[in-house]
Amino acid sequence: MTVEGGVVDEIGVLSRIEALCAEKGLRMTEPRRVIARVLSDSEDHPDAEELYDRVKAIDSSISMATIYRTMKLFEEMSIVSKRDFGDGRARYEKQSGPEDHHHHMIDVQSGEVIEFFNQELEDLKKRIARDLGFELVDHHLELFGVRLKKKH
Amino acid sequence: MVEPNCPVTAACHLAVTRAYSALKEAGADERVAYEAAETVYAWHHPEVPRQRVPFVIADWLP
């Protein structure tokens, strides 16, 4: 195939990934096809979270779990190689609306999630940002804990 | 996936899936819910390297 222009190039790269999957007998579901396409289009080395962000822009129904399962499968089948740059996991950013702003307290023992809002905390965060020379535009907070034993 | 030296307990599985689904139902971002589920799992199984955790719980979550 003569590669002239982005479209042909994109198809060529995508075909290579899909051909690898077919060669190894991997059934191509739609999520796998989308993930393979995003991987093909990536010129950097995206981690699972970056991959999720890019995949989400194409198909928002694909979950983080699907990304991790697919990457694990692709790696086990030598379709992709995992690289460790020693920088740990990428952290995420969350989009939140001001109208229903709240945080979460998560019971690590049971998985129970309790929503809470604390004005004192909100004021403190704004003050910290301001003291550091910023206007706070977004943040999120999850607290993890175990329930205190009741006193008898 | 089950870690060889880390038996899955019902409490751990329940807590991980519950935290994830509760956060999703509360409108949390997918990444926030997933990270929370990872933290819950890591609390139950501190012996599992943290980088492996997202791959372990991927088999439990939708």
Cβ contacts (< 8 Å) between B1 and chain A: which residues?
A: 72
A 58-117 residues inside an 8 A Cβ radius of B = 63-69, 71-72, 88-89, 92, 94-96, 100, 104, 106-113, 115
Flag whether pLDDT at A87 surpasses 80: no
Instruction: Give the start-to-end residue ranges of the domains of chain B.
Output: 10-57
Do the Cβ atoms of B31 and A52 come within 8 Å? Answer: yes
Average pLDDT, integer, range A82-106: 56
**Interatomic CA distance for residues B5 and A95, integer angstroms:** 38
pLDDT computed for residue A62 by the predictor: 96
Q: Are B27 and B10 in contact (CB under 8 A)?
A: no
Q: Which domains does chain A have, with CATH numbers?
A: 6-76 (1.10.10.10), 103-145 (3.30.1490.190)
Q: Give the pLDDT confidence of B6-62 residue by residue, as tens digits.
A: 566 789 999 999 999 999 999 999 999 999 999 999 999 999 988 889 999 999 999
Nearest to B29 among A66, A94, A110 (CB): A94
Query: What is the residue type of A94?
Result: K
Instruction: Specify whether the CB–CB gap between A139 and A125 falls below 8 A.
Output: yes
Q: Is the predicted pLDDT of residue A10 greater than 70, yes or no?
A: no
Kindly state whether B26 is in contact with chain A, defined as any CB-CB distance less than 8 angstroms: yes
Which tokens belong to A105?
């307290």
Give the best residue of A108, A141, A146 to mutate against chain B (max B CB count within 10 A): A108
Contact flag B36-A104 (C-beta cutoff 8 Å) = yes
CA distance B45 to A146: 15
Beta strands in A20-128 (DSSP E): 103-107, 113-116
- Complex-level ipTM: 0.87
How far, in Å, CA of A50 to CA of A131, rounded?
31
The residue type at A70: T
Asked whether A103 and B32 are in contact (CB, 8 A), the reply is no
Check CB contact under 8 Å for B55 and A107.
Answer: no
Res. A52: pLDDT tops 50:
yes
CB contact under 8 A, B43 and A100: no
The predicted structure's pLDDT at residue A11: 47
The token pair at A35 is: 């993930």
